Structure 1
Amino acid sequence: MDNAAISRPVKVAAVQAEPGWLNLQKSIDKVISLIENAGKKSVNVLRFPEVFVQGYPWSIWHHSPLSNVGFIHEYVNNSLVKESPEMDRIKKAVKAAGFFVVLGYSERDRGSIYIAQSFINPDGEIIHHRKIKPTRVERSLWGDSQADPVKCVVDTKWGEVGGLN
């Protein structure tokens, strides 16, 4: 895409809000509410933080892995599955809002969870990315990605949008 072809200002917003801690449904409701709110403010691109769905568990940095075992099953069970009714609700909200979203979340896929982000276009289509190598103690919770895909910059009608986990 030729960014010079963009003739009007692009409104980009970054979410700075509390997630629905350890509660997938509450997290999804919050994401949808924030998307709807941004839509009322004529946002073109909305970016959520890393692991917004269901929240980043800072305790992994402050306590031993053994001390964190108590919440791990709950965390895994409340992680978002990419192909799920919850993601369908998010895609529907993005489509209704008519803008581009970069969503950071804890993704559950079979027996592992990953630090993931999905680029969701106004048609509700996803380009998916996982953090290739979780950082230090993050490895006690999230798995390594296989780097497929490693695409973290995508074309939109507002220009190129990128994101890193």
Structure 2
Amino acid sequence: MPGCESTAEHKAPKHRGLNEYYRFCFDHAREYNNAWDFFSGMSGKEVQDHMMNSVYGDRPTWQYGVGGEGHAEDILRDKIHRSYHGSEGKEDSPRNGGNRGFSVAQNTPEFEAMALMGLEPPVTLEGIKARYKALAKKHHPDLNMGCEKSEELLKHINMAYTILKLAYKQFEQLPER
């Protein structure tokens, strides 16, 4: 900053790309970062899309195609429900008044997150939160005398909790469960 005598050792982002930085002294970097809004100029939909993409590590995703049988979302939801509940027909699906808990297909980030947290589908948001709290207490660095293995596990648990929480919120927004 003009007139500042301190050394400019601290980076502050120039824009959302996060690949170019200004250099400031500590106090000016803090001031700049507090005033800077990453989501400034984005619509609510763009913010939500950015958050969902970041949950999956900004990897590309795509919708499943369906050849005239119905909506892919409905078919997938029914397949997932049947795979976990052993139901042969749609009469027991969540769409038709069956269990309304959140369940996921295998080999997905949500499934891996549930496995890491020791949860089995269907789960509720309250169940996810309760399990997270128990695991966070168990693996907290203060209780484990700085054990690096517990610290790493806690980082993975935090990530898993974030994935499940966001996935559950998306699940709740689906029409007619």
Structure of larger gyration radius:
2
Q: What TM-score comes out, normalization by structure 2 length? A: 0.24
TM norm structure 1: 0.25
Instruction: From the two aligned structures, give the one with the greater strand fraction.
Output: 1
